[in-house]
């Protein structure tokens, strides 16, 4: 029976080529937009390089001071993280790093933009960067404030050239300071802002680094690593107990907000005490997806209703020969699903093409979008949504057609 439905569906699609084109274009274009957006979100959320220990890590990236007429919100100071967070008993390691900053350097009269990040020694223990050459900055090098650096694969190519051989031991100049290269790591996309940089430097060589723990605000973030997943709630509770004990840095403030979050919560943290930001982001993405899907769905409903009116004589004949309303509804929904899945296949091809051009255009540094099983599963779910939602009402309208009225339209 499904084979017959498929043959009928193909015949109907060929009958009105313009309506078929409009339907397929609406489905495939919408699906392409959603799949590219889903691939981007999946890359941001699920890509765990170099953060392989995410299941037993918490992220401290934000502090907010509020008062009746004042508010201050930013990342944290190195002094705060080094004094309060490294003193916690539950974590086995605390990675501290700055947000990346930008400077310029010149090689052969060519300007190169360098994004740099300061780290402590534990940063390289908590995170698992893939070293293409050399090794991480050691604890001793950090303590001695040695001018050493770990650089990205892209920075190696840009600074030394595409055909450069091993560069460990060579020097790279940034902000008029020469740093000896001790390692080269695989690239990080800029969307992973907690880990991204072109070059990584010991925090002890920073000109603005301060160990004053009474100054809570700064440009650093922390990652606290538990011994196992079971210690995560305990570690979170221990950090939460620190915040209420902090002295107010200024009389204009009366409340301090800061949290040790799971990765996604930390990524979208708003600073609010009760909302991590996940709720807001989820609502925003849901509204966007529904809006994008709503327009082509309504378009499909209108086109399907028009098709039903054109096929009223066919429906009348089939009813006259004993076809039940349930059978006709089932047939029409199957036909609509076939149309939707054809549009879905076109959408998948267009998504591959769109991602190829986005990746090659390098619109976002080191970001490589790809279609994986998660993205394809979302695509399948969207196709089913289109097929069922846009077919139910027209099918119901078809089932209500009177046999005599339908035959008169012949």
Whether residue 94 sits in one domain with residue 239 = yes
Residue 171 three-state SS: strand
Residues 236, 291: one domain? no
> Could you tell me how many residues make up the chain?
410
> Is the predicted pLDDT of residue 122 greater than 70, yes or no?
yes
Average pLDDT of the residues in 205-219: 77
Residue-wise pLDDT tens digits, 55-77: 999 999 989 999 888 888 889 99
Of residues 224 and 175, the one with the higher pLDDT is 224
pLDDT at position 151 is 98
Q: Is the pLDDT of residue 25 over 70?
A: yes
Q: pLDDT for 285-340, tens place per residue?
A: 777 777 777 766 666 676 666 666 666 666 666 666 666 667 777 777 777 777 77
The answer to whether position 299 is within a domain reads yes
Q: Is residue 374 part of a domain?
A: yes
Q: In this predicted structure, what is the pLDDT of residue 384?
A: 74
Has residue 268 been placed in a domain?
A: no
Q: Is residue 33 part of a domain?
A: yes
Query: Are 287 and 218 members of one domain?
Result: no
3-state secondary structure of 305: helix
Query: Do 9 and 85 have their domain in common?
Result: no
Q: What is the pLDDT of residues 373-385, one digit of tens each?
A: 776 777 777 777 7
Beta carbons of 194 and 221 less than 8 angstroms apart: yes
Q: What is the mean pLDDT of the chain?
A: 83
Q: 111 and 240 share a domain? A: yes
Position 155 pLDDT exceeds 80:
yes
DSSP H/E element including 173: strand 171-174
DSSP 317-386: HHHHTT--HHHHHHHHHHHHHHHHHHHHHHHHHHHHHHHHHHHHHTSSTT------HHHHHHHHHHHHHH
Domain containing 94: what range? 62-260
Angle at 94 between CA 92 and CA 99, to 5 degrees: 160
> Which DSSP letter does residue 111 get?
E
The answer to whether residues 83 and 206 belong to one domain is yes
User: 292 and 389 share a domain?
Assistant: yes
Using the 3D structure, point to which of 260, 289, 323 is the last residue of a domain: 260
224 close to 38: Cβ distance less than 8 angstroms: no
Is 286 strand, coil or helix? helix
Asked if the structure places residue 266 within a domain, the reply is: no
Domain edge (last residue) among 203, 232, 260: 260
Going by the DSSP 8-state scheme, the letter that residue 81 receives in this structure is: I
- Running DSSP on this structure, what letter comes out for residue 105? E
Place of tokens 């996940």: 278
Residue (of 154, 159, 194) closest to 179 by Cα position: 159
Considering the domain architecture, whether residues 228 and 158 belong to the same structural domain is answered as yes
- Is the domain of 255 the same as that of 283? no
Whether residues 229 and 367 fall in one domain: no
How many other CB atoms are there within 10 angstroms of residue 118's CB atom?
25
Token pair, residue 402, equals: 């009177």
Strand partners, 172: 179
Of residues 265, 272, 207, 212, the one with CA closest to residue 236: 265
Whether residue 180 has pLDDT greater than 70: yes
Is the pLDDT assigned to residue 178 strictly greater than 80? yes
Residue 195 neighbours by CB distance under 10 Å: 21
Mean pLDDT (whole number) for 230-246:
96
Contact at 8 Å (CB) between 36 and 351?
A: yes
Give the per-residue pLDDT at 277: 65
267 located within any domain: no
Residue range 215-226: mean pLDDT, rounded: 94
Residue 55, pLDDT score: 94
> Three-class SS of residue 229?
helix
Q: What pLDDT digit, counting tens, does each position of 344-391 carry?
A: 888 889 988 999 888 888 777 788 888 777 767 777 777 777 667 776
Judged by average pLDDT, the poorest of 9-13, 93-97, 107-111 is 9-13
Report the pLDDT value the prediction gives residue 8, as an integer from 0 to 100.
65
**Total of domains in the chain:** 2
Pairing of strands 71-76, 63-66: antiparallel
Mean pLDDT to the nearest integer, 78-90: 95
pLDDT recorded at residue 401:
61
Q: What's the rounded mean pLDDT across residues 99-107?
A: 92
Any domain includes 331: yes
| 204 and 140 together in one domain | yes
Q: Where are the alpha helices (DSSP H) in 93-184?
A: 123-126, 139-143, 153-160
Q: Kindly state whether residues 315 and 353 are assigned to the same domain.
A: yes
Last residue of a domain, one of 213, 230, 260: 260
Q: Is residue 53 a part of any domain in this protein?
A: no
Question: Over the range 347-370, which residues count as b (16 or more CB within 10 Å of their CB) and which as e?
Answer: bbebbeebbeebeeeeeeebbebe
């Amino acid at each position: 029976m499904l084979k017959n439905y498929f043959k009928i569906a193909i015949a109907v699609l060929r009958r009105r080529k313009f309506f078929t084109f409009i339907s397929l274009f609406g489905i495939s274009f919408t699906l392409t937009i959603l799949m590219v957006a889903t691939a981007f979100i999946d890359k941001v959320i699920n890509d765990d390089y170099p953060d392989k220990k995410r299941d037993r890590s918490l992220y401290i990236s934000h502090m907010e001071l509020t008062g009746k007429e004042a508010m201050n919100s930013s990342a944290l100071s190195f002094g705060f993280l080094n004094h309060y967070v490294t003193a916690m008993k539950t974590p086995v390691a605390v990675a501290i790093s700055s947000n990346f900053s930008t400077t310029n350097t010149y090689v052969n009269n060519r300007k190169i933009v360098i994004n740099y990040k300061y780290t402590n020694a534990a940063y390289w223990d908590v995170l698992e960067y893939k070293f293409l050459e050399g090794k991480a900055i050691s604890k001793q090098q950090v303590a001695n404030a040695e001018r050493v650096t770990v650089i990205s694969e892209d920075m190696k190519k840009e600074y030394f050239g595409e055909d450069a051989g091993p560069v460990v031991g060579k020097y790279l100049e940034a902000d008029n300071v020469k740093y000896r290269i001790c390692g080269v790591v695989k690239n990080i996309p800029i969307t992973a802002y907690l880990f991204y940089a072109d070059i990584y430097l010991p925090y002890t060589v920073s000109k603005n680094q301060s160990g004053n723990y009474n100054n809570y605000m700064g440009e650093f973030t922390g990652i606290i690593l538990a011994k196992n997943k079971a210690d995560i709630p305990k570690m979170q509770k221990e950090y939460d107990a620190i915040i209420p004990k902090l002295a107010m840095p200024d009389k204009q403030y009366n409340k301090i907000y800061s949290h040790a979050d799971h990765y996604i919560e930390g990524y979208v943290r708003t600073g609010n005490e009760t909302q991590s930001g996940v709720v807001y982001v989820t609502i925003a993405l849901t509204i966007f997806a529904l809006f994008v899907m709503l327009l082509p769905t309504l378009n499909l409903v209108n086109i399907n209703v028009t098709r039903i009116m054109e096929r009223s004589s066919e429906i009348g004949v089939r009813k006259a020969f004993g076809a039940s309303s349930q059978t006709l509804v089932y047939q029409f929904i199957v036909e609509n699903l076939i149309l939707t899945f054809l549009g879905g296949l076109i959408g998948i091809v267009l998504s591959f093409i769109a991602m190829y051009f986005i990746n090659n255009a390098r619109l976002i540094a080191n970001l490589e979008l790809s279609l994986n099983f998660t993205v394809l599963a979302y695509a399948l779910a969207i196709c089913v949504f289109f097929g069922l939602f846009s077919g139910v009402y027209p099918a119901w309208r078809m089932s209500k057609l009177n046999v005599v009225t339908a035959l008169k339209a012949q």
